[in-house]
Amino acid sequence: MDLLSIGAIAVALAMDAFAVAIVAGLTVKPLTERHVFRLAFHFGLFQFLMPILGWAAGHAVQKHIAAYDHWIAFGLLGFIGGKMIWGSIRGDGREQDPGNDPTSGWQLVLLSVATSIDALAVGLSLGLIGSSILKPALIIGVVAAAFTSLGMALGRKIGSIWGKRVEIAGGLILICIGMKIVIDHLLH
């Protein structure tokens, strides 16, 4: 997979983390560098590990479904993208209660898992198409950590207005990447 596609996937996957980080930036008072580091580190770590887990599963079954793996990858990315778009339109309850610190304890772990589930499916898709995983997973993790840091900082300044728009953009990017996989497969 080319670097542009990996970067686009990483940015799309980081949108959930970015949206949650904006909300976290709004709710954590006072927001310290420690809060930012904890959330960015955990979101980045989970975004790095989940594609590897998904890839291992996808790689194990790749030879059995090679004839239609591109459609599965498209379906997964389309589903994830659609879920992101639908969740942003209808609201999926991720907003944090101002009295809680989303950068510590079980809340941090649960948010880390919730924002990286999509990365698991992307890893599965990469395994199905026979792509390598270490470089994409590393890029996905670093981009998620960076977007999380940026989201927390922006959360203090811009409010929650961008949250839904950012998730919609992320969902559309994932759907487009899925379409690109199918088109590339059909043309080659």
Rounded to the nearest 10 degrees, the angle between the axes of helix 69-90 and helix 3-27 is 20
> pLDDT tens-digit profile of 148-168?
999 999 887 765 466 567 667
Q: Do the Cβ atoms of 172 and 82 come closer than 8 Å?
A: no
Does 136 sit behind a cis peptide bond, omega within 30 degrees of 0 on the bond before it? Answer: no
Cα Rg of the chain, angstroms: 16
> pLDDT tens-digit profile of 112-150?
888 888 888 889 888 888 888 999 999 999 999 999 999
CA distance 122 to 100: 31
Strongest mean pLDDT among 28-42, 57-71, 79-93, 116-130: 28-42
Three-class HEC string of 66-79: CCCHHHHHHHHHHH
Q: Do the Cβ atoms of 125 and 53 come closer than 8 Å?
A: no
Six-digit token string for 115: 């924002």
CA distance 75 to 19: 24
